[in-house]
Amino acid sequence: MNRKNLDKFEPKEQCFEVQQSQYNPVFVAEIREIEKEVAEGRVTRLDPNKSIWENLRSE
């Protein structure tokens, strides 16, 4: 293959259709925000030895 033949090929971005997410963009943004909060450590840890109500009262 020589350089003349390379001009016949389209860039990959043009060859394939861009796949759209099946999810609502607002939902995706919320999930990404939650993932960011978890990475920053802004989470509530539950003690498995306590009931859910005891865990929530201790905060």
Q: What pLDDT, on a 0 to 100 scale, did the predictor assign at position 59?
A: 59
Give the pTM.
Answer: 0.48
What's 1's DSSP letter? -
Domains of the chain, by residue range, sit at 22-59
Say what the pLDDT of residue 10 is: 60
pLDDT at 36: 96
At 11-56, the pLDDT tens digits run: 655 555 556 778 899 999 999 999 999 999 998 889 999 999 998 8
C-alpha span between 48 and 35 (Å, rounded): 23
Confidence at residue 1, expressed as pLDDT on a 0 to 100 scale:
54
